[in-house]
Amino acid sequence: MCVCVCVVCDYLSPPALAFAERRSKSFSRSWSDPTPVKTDSPHDPRDSGDLQTSCGTLDEGGLDDNIDWEEEREMERLACEGDDFVPPKIMLISSKVPKAEYVPTIIRRDDPSIIPILYDHEHATFDDILEEIEKKLTAYRRGSKFWRMLIFCQGGPGHLYLLKNKVATFAKVEKEEAMSQFWRRLSRFMSKINPEPNIIHIMGCYVLGNPNGEKLFQKLKNLMRPYSVEFESPLELSAQGKEVIELYFDFRLYRLWKTRQHSKLLEYEEFL
């Protein structure tokens, strides 16, 4: 065993080791992530190298903005054809949310299209999140894009607390290149074949509590063009909030989790 470890270290430069360690920390809590996997047939032409996902590489400069829109749209359509295809719904869960590790256990169990991703608020980066989304979508159906996304994080009126020291506000999205690039690159995972606008739901905070919330959402929509997207951040106790909860979660388990979110009495077995 010791010899194997030494061999691995010889192949990894210090920067590579640091990156591997950071990646391990970023998703170290995703043990509870019951991501569904839809396996393609071994002879499915979608497995060939001719069909590439439109997101391209996530490295700097890897996204080619000049790729023909209609060509990408056709590639997605071919990848997702079939009566059995259900458009995926991505669920991003920040570990900053109290009792976040339980959230993947309370999603709707009758809907395998929900793909939970629990990320570490303290250590993850925007690149980590985008890479994880790409990996999960490929596992679900190669070439598929999400039609719905839920971002479950802390925040408040006019802001989203996505990562440590990374608060999305209208001003910061406008001024910080890394922040604006994250939303642009995220849009590449949204569907082009959805006849209606794709939707990004926000839970865990009420962003529309002041006018800056609407300004933030409008700014993000502009950044994500030409992709069609709407942002929704309903109050949980409203009728619309209940609809969003029921779209992603087992409502009974969600209410149980919510009532005990700040309690030390919460037991994992209650959600099994």
Q: Is residue 3 part of a domain?
A: no
CA proximity to 214, closest of 158, 138, 143: 158
Q: Is residue 72 part of a domain?
A: yes
Q: Is residue 210 part of a domain?
A: yes
Model pLDDT, residue 197: 95
Q: Is residue 219 part of a domain?
A: yes
What predicted TM-score, i.e. pTM, was given to this entire model? 0.76
pLDDT digits (tens, 9 = 90+) for 178-203: 999 999 999 999 999 999 999 999 99
Q: Domain count for the chain, please give it.
A: 1
What's the pLDDT band for 72 if we cut at 50, 70, 90?
A: confident
How much is the CA Rg of the chain, to the nearest whole Å? 19
Domain of residue 253 covers: 12-36+65-271
Q: Is residue 53 part of a domain?
A: no
Q: How far apart are CA 47 and CA 9, in angstroms?
A: 33
State how far Cα 236 lies from the chain centre: 20
What's the pLDDT band for 151 if we cut at 50, 70, 90?
A: very high
Average pLDDT of the chain to the nearest whole number: 80
Model pLDDT, residue 79: 86
Q: Is residue 57 part of a domain?
A: no
Q: Is residue 203 part of a domain?
A: yes
Q: Is residue 182 part of a domain?
A: yes
Determine phi and psi for 258, rounding to 5 degrees: -65, -40
